[in-house]
Structure formats: C-alpha cells, structure tokens
Amino acid sequence: MAKIKLNLLLSYPPAELNASIGGIYEKTPWIVEHFYADNLSPDLGPDVVAATKDRISNVKILFDEIKRYVKESGREKQLELLKSHPDLCLKLDPPAQKRITQESVQEQGRAGLSTLTAEERTKFHELNNKYKAKFQFPFILAVRNASKHTVLSALEGRVNSSVEEEIACALSQVDKIAWMRLLTKVDYPEGSNGHGGFLTCHVLDTANGTPASGMRIELYRYEDGSEKNGMRTQQRILLKSFLTNSDGRLNGPALSGTDFCEGQYEWEFYVGDYFAKYSLSRISGTPFLDVVPLRFGLDDPSEHYHVPLLVSPW
C-alpha cells in the first residue's frame, strides 16, 4: 500500500484520518481522535488548523504530538492500552491469530518465534506465564526487527522488574510499535526532498594517528524477502560504494533526501586493502582485520545518523 503524503493526511476529515493511522496504537482509536479534535477540527477555526499544519512539517513531529495523548491519559487508560496488545504466545497458536490485528501478525512474524526449539518454547512459556501473572498485562516488545533470541532475552530480563518500571518500559515499547507503524503509512510532504535525515561516516587510522584516507567502503540495505520455515528472510542489496577522502570522511552524506529511510543497513569497511598500502611489517600473511562489517538500523528518517570507525591492523 502506498504511503500517504503528510500534508494530504493532515487535510483528511476525522473518519478518514482515523482509518489511515488510527491503528498505530493497538485497538485504541481514541488517541488519534483526540489529536484531531485538539488540532485539526474545523471547530477550532482556520487559523488554528493552519498553524497545526505549518507546525507538523515531518512525520516525527506528528508522532510526538500524537504520543503525548498516551503519556497524559492517566494510568487507567494506559493499562487498557497495554492490555489491548496481543500475547506473543499467539504466534505459536496460528488459529488464535484470528483475534489479533494484521499489523501484529506481520510484526510477530518477523521475530521467528515459530522456529523455537522445544527447550526454547518451554522456557518462553514459563517466562511469559510468570510475566502475565506478575504484571497483569501481556509482554510487549517492538519485535519487527528482533530475533527469537532478542525476545527471550528481553522477557527474561524484564520479568524481574518492579511493576512501575515495567509499566514504563511496556509503554515505551508501545510507542516504538506505533512509531514503526506510522512510518509504514505516512510519507514526507509533497514538494519535500525526504524527511530531512541523512547518514555520514568517519574512519580513523589509530595505528598511524591519521584519518583513514582512501579506504573503500560499501553500503548495503536489508529488505524483507519471502517467508521460509516460519521466518521472514532478508535480501542484502548493495546501495553505494565510496572511497574516504583525506579527512577519512565521505564527500557528502552516504544517504540523504528520499534515499534516506528507516530500515536495517550494513557498512563494509575494506580495512585489509587499506592497510596493504603500508610496509609489509604492518600486516600479516592472514590479516587480523580484512573486511569489517557493521550492521546498524535507522529508526528516524528525520535525524542525522553518524557511524565512526577507529581501526588498526592489529
């Protein structure tokens, strides 16, 4: 489904706005309804509505204004929101998935819980049952890019939290889920060159005490592929190749404008090739460092992300 341009979204009537983004918070449409009533309703007058549209210039600002209603809603409403989320165990019970939203089905599918071994499955159920008994709401984790190991580790750590700590953590996870969902639905405004974020890189040669000039670097993006054995596969796509300049940097952002979007990426730094230009005493027959991969995620398309690397041949 094509994303909606932000400026167009802010012109929608309440029913259409809620149909478009009301589901970013699980089964809780009142959040977007309150946002509309306080910011975009014609009853507020044209000056107020125009000021809102001018103020919300990117999707991050939109989300910050929407999530405020969760923070200010009070404990009763917050607990209702937490309890509206599905139990992660439903991923292990396909018929039960009919009771949860399509967004949750897709998000849980990326966690690979259906590939749990018998031992992992037993551990998962024990921890999950202990968690629900203690906190009285389901375990919530923004699982879109998490593995089964991430889920188990988070569950094992958080089950020992205090009630107040876990409510705060769970609400933070709910916000992350809503943010990821919003990014799949809303695009930058018409006439804009992306959301404003960009990616940069800097490499320093600690062995010689200089910037790593002339190092080859490649940038890859991971895209969702087909589902295989209960897990969503990923395709690794080469985006660009670079050579660092005399300052160990790139000649401009690696990604910016409409090319800069949320997702998982990987740098490959050709460290072995770089150090080969020095005397043979600097490298061994089998270099300690050859190609250095660095996998990272971009979560906010309106921010500046910077990846520094300090390297030595030893």
User: Which two three-digit tokens encode residue 312?
Assistant: 């030595």
Question: Which of 209-240 are b and which e, b meaning 16 or more Cβ less than 10 Å from the residue's Cβ?
Answer: eebbbebebbbbbbeeeeeeeebeeeeeeeee
> What is the pLDDT, as a whole number, of residue 224?
81
> Of 159, 131, 151, which is closest to residue 91 (Cα–Cα)?
151
Per-residue model confidence as pLDDT tens for the chain (314 residues)? 789 999 999 999 999 999 999 999 999 999 999 999 999 999 999 999 999 999 999 999 999 999 999 999 999 999 999 999 988 776 565 555 556 666 666 655 566 677 788 999 999 999 999 999 999 999 999 866 678 899 999 999 999 999 999 999 999 999 999 999 999 999 999 999 999 999 999 999 999 999 999 999 999 999 987 666 555 678 999 999 999 999 999 999 999 999 999 999 999 999 999 998 875 555 567 788 899 999 999 999 999 999 999 999 88
> What is the pLDDT, as a whole number, of residue 147?
83
The reported pTM is 0.87
> What is the pLDDT, as a whole number, of residue 206?
94
Q: What is the Cα–Cα distance from 143 to 201, expressed in whole angstroms? A: 28
Work out whether the CA dihedral 11, 15, 19, 24 comes out positive or negative.
positive
Q: What is the Cα–Cα distance from 282 to 304, expressed in whole angstroms? A: 35
pLDDT digits (tens, 9 = 90+) for 2-37: 899 999 999 999 999 999 999 999 999 999 999 999
> Of 88, 138, 82, 87, which is closest to residue 111 (Cα–Cα)?
88
> What is the pLDDT, as a whole number, of residue 278?
74
Mean pLDDT for the chain? 90
Looking at the chain, the whole-number percentage of residues with pLDDT higher than 70 is: 87
Q: What is the Cα–Cα distance from 128 to 280, expressed in whole angstroms? A: 56
> What is the pLDDT, as a whole number, of residue 114?
72
| Residues sharing a CB contact under 8 Å with residue 100, sequence separation 6 or more, in sequence order | 86, 90
| Residues sharing a CB contact under 8 Å with residue 180, sequence separation 6 or more, in sequence order | 107, 142, 144, 262
Q: What is the Cα–Cα distance from 170 to 150, expressed in whole angstroms? A: 15
User: Which two three-digit tokens encode residue 250?
Assistant: 């790139």
> What is the pLDDT, as a whole number, of residue 91?
59
pLDDT digits (tens, 9 = 90+) for 181-229: 999 999 999 999 999 999 999 999 999 999 999 999 999 999 987 666 5
Q: Assign 12 to helix, strand or coil.
A: coil
